[in-house]
Amino acid sequence: MIELIPAIDIIEGKCVRLTKGDYDTKKVYGDPLEMARQFEDLGMRRLHVVDLDGAKSKHVVNHSTLKAITTCTNLIVDFGGGVKTDEDLEKAFDAGASLVTVGSIAVTDPDLFLGWLEKYGADRLILGADVRNGCVSINGWKEDSDVRLEVFLSRYMKQGTRNVLCTEISKDGTLTGPAIDLYRSIMDHYPQCHLIASGGVGSTEDILALDSAGIPAVVFGKAFYEGNINLKDPRLKIC
């Protein structure tokens, strides 16, 4: 069964969701720690935490909220948003993140990312591949680079990257269904990749479709918060 990874995005200490990364579409869903506890009570083992304040300000901001989640739950947490420096990365790990997602730096400073990959290992880093119109977006999706997704993935998979979080930005927060063809294409090219699909999941059926397509893992958020996904559904086979 596909690995289920609920998402908590944080702005000003609150759990929120955006649509297509637009901060003006922010909808607040409550306290991140309480939401994390709810996911744990529902049988989740993993959690994806995004520091949207950090992504916008280009440095980690909500590390104290991350620390509260990792201290008060047993969830395996991956953290991203604003990780630009060695200090940012250490803050995330020191706050209890088991894995850290790095996207922008892998575009703007490849040598730094490769240094982190060598120092911390492929099991502790997730390559963030947020894509819009075929190119990787950076800095909280505020900028589109000229780096094509296929070139980006090829470079880092050859360097030993195994974990990839790919978000189709045009789908994110829309509940209109994930970009299954995109994710299937990535898996066809890199069968060794632990791909985490993100963006557009609107229902349990979408998760089952990704599972049928052979996608290893999926991040979802808004669909759960809006009541479209029931994690007690036996079809999801939560371990």
Neighbours of 96 (CB within 10 A): 17
Coil/strand/helix, residue 161: coil
Coil/strand/helix, residue 168: strand
Report which secondary-structure segment, H or E, holds 50.
Answer: strand 46-51
pLDDT value, residue 239? 57
CATH of the domain at 97: 3.20.20.70
In single-letter form, the type of residue at position 2 comes to I
- Distance between CA atoms of 84 and 165, rounded to whole angstroms? 17
Query: Which of 9, 51, 53, 78 is labelled catalytic?
Result: 9
Range of the domain at 9: 3-236
Pairing status of strand 14-19 against strand 3-11: antiparallel
- Distance between CA atoms of 141 and 118, rounded to whole angstroms? 26
Residues 6+ apart with CB under 8 A from 18: 9, 25, 26, 27, 52, 172, 173
Query: Which of 88, 130, 172, 211 is labelled catalytic?
Result: 130
State the number of CA atoms in the 13 A half-sphere of 131 facing the CB: 24
pLDDT value, residue 44? 97
Is 41 among the residues known to form the active site? no
Count the domains in the chain.
Answer: 1
The per-residue pLDDT string of the chain (239 residues; one tens digit each, 9 = 90 and over) reads 999 999 999 999 999 999 998 999 999 999 999 999 999 999 999 999 999 999 999 999 999 999 999 999 999 999 999 999 999 999 999 999 999 999 999 999 999 999 999 999 999 999 999 999 999 999 888 889 999 999 999 999 999 999 999 999 999 999 999 999 999 999 999 999 999 999 999 999 999 999 999 999 999 999 999 999 999 999 998 75
pLDDT value, residue 237? 82
Is 123 among the residues known to form the active site? no
